[in-house]
Chain A
Amino acid sequence: MSLDAGSETRTVDFAADDVPQWRSILSWPAAPSIIFLVVATLGVGMVTDGFLTIANLRSILEQAVLISIVALAVNQVILSGEIDVSTGSLLAVCAFVFGNTANVVGGAWLPLLAALAAGGTVGLLNGFLSTYGRVPSIITTLGMLFILRGAVLLGGGAQVLNMAPESRIFGQGMLAGVPVTILIAASLFLVMEIVSRHTIWARNAIAIGGNESAARTLGLPIRKTRLIAFVLSGLCCGLAAAVFLGQIGQLQATAATGFELKVIAAVVLGGTSIRGGKGSNVSPVVGAVLVGVILNAMTLNRVPGTYELLILGSLILGAVSFEGVRQKLLTRGH
């Protein structure tokens, strides 16, 4: 957030001179989504009974946690100008690794390590193919989405794993009065904020996503930066798998199908530019909560589950076209 605050402020100052005020509001990436989130929450709250209760809001947050853990990482991938659509299947693979390790050795920490290792390895492969292998990331990760799902179906087809309570500590229970899952997401957010503010890698990622050829001319390590973003995405899938299994307690081969769409929806709804180079860590979190609010409102209003994809698709299209309109408005007259 802080990173582009620098570049954004310049745009705002510049805009303040010769364009109306509303344009400068438009130019802060996360602002529209936050406004939208507040309006949506209040709007849904007014028309839906039982929405604005502590228990329901908590369950929305807990659902949003899973999305935001992965979205925080995919956000970095998109910022650097690439995309990762393999997260749904990768989450399932990591969950399988977690579940099977937990079944053999018990506990939760060793399975977490195994899931992180699996996620990191696939992320590394994704990143390597997309950078050094010159395969566009949409092709790599789309191929991987199907390869990994195929692997899960082959490896675990009919298997239904039930988790022991001791292995579910990342998805259940409270710590100091706060649900563990929310603590995990909050710490990840803090870590990402520190990384964004204090590492050269994060600054490079934004520079590369913003203008690749300029970044190349400057001699920034384009491939390495993007590779790290993909590895991060894999690692976060590993972490999310631990939370996921902790929350639902059992595992099937079709788990998390379509999850990648929720993640992408969260990132673009939050206001990160799909073209890369513009966005903040607030975006994926706000976006994830928004997705959570909307899906929850659907359930409470008895909208059939068959509408979920329809809603997600409209959200993605709405968010990116909003971004397109905003670009048009901002560039008009320049």
Chain B
Amino acid sequence: MNARSLSMDRFRVNRSMVLALIFIIQIAVTSLLVPGYFDIRGLLDATRSFSEAGLIALGMTLVIITGGIDLSVGALLALVSVTIGFSYQAGLPLWAASMAGVGVGTLGGLFNGAFITYFRLHPLVVTLGTFALFRGIAYAVSDANAVSGFPDWFSLFGQTTLGWFPLQFLFLCLFVVIFWVVLSRCAFGRYVYAVGHNEVAARFAGISTNSVLLAVYTLNGFLVGLAGLIYTSRIASARGNAGLGLELTVIAMVVLGGTKITGGSGTIVGTMMGILILSYLQDGLTFAGVRADWGLIFIGVFLILGVFVNQVFRERSR
């Protein structure tokens, strides 16, 4: 047992290094193939487009470590965005509307968590339901219209740069550090792993598993709220079809980073590498002028392939 957990640890360290190497090779190859792609400023600017997905991927990492999944994040992002836009249009001050948006995100996560723990339902069913429900509310409220014309200061969250760094990327970095500390240096982090590894054993060990699950889903909802705020500020418009397919990108990032889809293991560093690799792949494709529909196919393939490779590796390491 001891030897095995040691070798697992070594494997995990190796994995992040392998991913980092892949990332470097990926950037090098894209730079060689696409003239004008390699440009530090340009590469940093590209972080603007994936910081939202990155934020949610951090929360999703925790969700998947507990053995669950959240398919509703894209729909919830749309609901958050619509809440901000339409409560502003209805006369609420924009700062209050923004807070309402983040609040709706958090409540959405809480709703998922409460449903999952109270009815003891599998998260995939609950979040498949809220996947339709949240976007359904967003469509119903917005009546398929969009709101734009926000005051200038609102571009703060999504369009500002500090030096060379887009503000939301610094935000993402901050949350990466927080989540790394929480997951690997706090008792709560250990509980998250324990619940995912063996929920019954965790309960017998005195961990309130329901509270852990509730906290994890609510936290994920809160991150979706923040991401929705950044998204609305970046796009400068709010509409119901925001974040279509976002759940796929986010889950692909997490599993590419080595988080086990059945729960119990995964790291924030791995997820960070998953975020970078997948986002710069998309960025490279867009830069090279490849049709956006290919993006759907690539991410789908990466998602399935990522899980497949994980499962095969784990089989071997036993």
B140 partner, pick from A139, A151, A275, A306, beta carbons under 8 A? A306
Contact across chains for A139 and B255 when beta carbons are under 8 A apart: yes
Interface members, chain A 279-327 (any B CB < 8 Å): 304, 306-314, 316-317, 320-321, 323-325, 327
Interface 1/0 per residue, A151-169 and B, CB below 8 Å: 1011001000000000000
Contacts of A129 in B (CB 8 A): 304, 308
* Chain B interface residues toward A at CB < 8 A: 69, 71, 115, 118-122, 124-126, 128-137, 139-140, 142-144, 240, 245, 247-248, 251, 255, 261-262, 291, 293-297, 299-301, 303-304, 307-308, 311-312, 315
Contact across chains for A154 and B294 when beta carbons are under 8 A apart: yes
Check: A134 CB closer than 8 A to any chain B CB: yes
Among A15-23, A140-148, A215-223, A232-240, the stretch in contact with B: A140-148
Known: A274-B121, A310-B137, A325-B119. 10 other contacts (CB 8 A): A134-B315, A135-B311, A143-B300, A146-B245, A153-B293, A307-B140, A309-B133, A314-B133, A317-B126, A321-B115
Task: Report the separation of the CA atoms of residues A308 and B135 in the bound assembly, to the nearest whole angstrom.
Answer: 10
Task: Report the separation of the CA atoms of residues A152 and B122 in the bound assembly, to the nearest whole angstrom.
Answer: 31
Task: Report the separation of the CA atoms of residues A243 and B134 in the bound assembly, to the nearest whole angstrom.
Answer: 31
Prevailing SS type, chain B contact patch: helix
Interface extent on A, as a size class? 35 or more
* Chain A interface residues toward B at CB < 8 A: 83, 85, 129, 133-136, 138-140, 142-147, 149-151, 153-154, 157, 258, 261, 264, 268, 274-275, 304, 306-314, 316-317, 320-321, 323-325, 327-328
Contacts of B297 in A (CB 8 A): 146-147, 150-151, 154
Contact across chains for A154 and B299 when beta carbons are under 8 A apart: no
Contact across chains for A308 and B136 when beta carbons are under 8 A apart: yes
B122 partner, pick from A142, A274, A308, A316, beta carbons under 8 A? A274
Contact across chains for A135 and B308 when beta carbons are under 8 A apart: yes
Task: Report the separation of the CA atoms of residues A145 and B300 in the bound assembly, to the nearest whole angstrom.
Answer: 8
Contact across chains for B132 and A261 when beta carbons are under 8 A apart: yes
Contact across chains for A136 and B307 when beta carbons are under 8 A apart: yes
| 4 A-B pairs with the lowest CB-CB distances in the bound complex, closest first | A310-B136, A313-B133, A324-B119, A313-B132
Contact across chains for A154 and B128 when beta carbons are under 8 A apart: no
The residue on B at minimum CB distance from A138 is B124
Q: Nearest-CB distance from A232 to chain B (Å)? A: 21
Contact across chains for A149 and B248 when beta carbons are under 8 A apart: no
Contact across chains for B136 and A149 when beta carbons are under 8 A apart: no
Contact across chains for A313 and B296 when beta carbons are under 8 A apart: no
A146 partner, pick from B119, B121, B300, beta carbons under 8 A? B300
Contact across chains for A317 and B115 when beta carbons are under 8 A apart: yes
Contact across chains for B121 and A309 when beta carbons are under 8 A apart: no
Task: Report the separation of the CA atoms of residues A133 and B310 in the bound assembly, to the nearest whole angstrom.
Answer: 11
Task: Report the separation of the CA atoms of residues A309 and B131 in the bound assembly, to the nearest whole angstrom.
Answer: 9
Contact across chains for A313 and B130 when beta carbons are under 8 A apart: yes
A320 partner, pick from B119, B300, B315, beta carbons under 8 A? B119
The residue on A at minimum CB distance from B111 is A317
Contacts of A308 in B (CB 8 A): 136
Q: List 9 A-B contacts (CB under 8 A).
A: A133-B308, A133-B311, A134-B308, A135-B311, A138-B69, A139-B304, A144-B304, A309-B139, A320-B126
Task: Report the separation of the CA atoms of residues A304 and B140 in the bound assembly, to the nearest whole angstrom.
Answer: 8
Contacts of B262 in A (CB 8 A): 136
The residue on B at minimum CB distance from A152 is B293
Contact across chains for A146 and B248 when beta carbons are under 8 A apart: yes
Contacts of B118 in A (CB 8 A): 324
Contacts of A85 in B (CB 8 A): 128
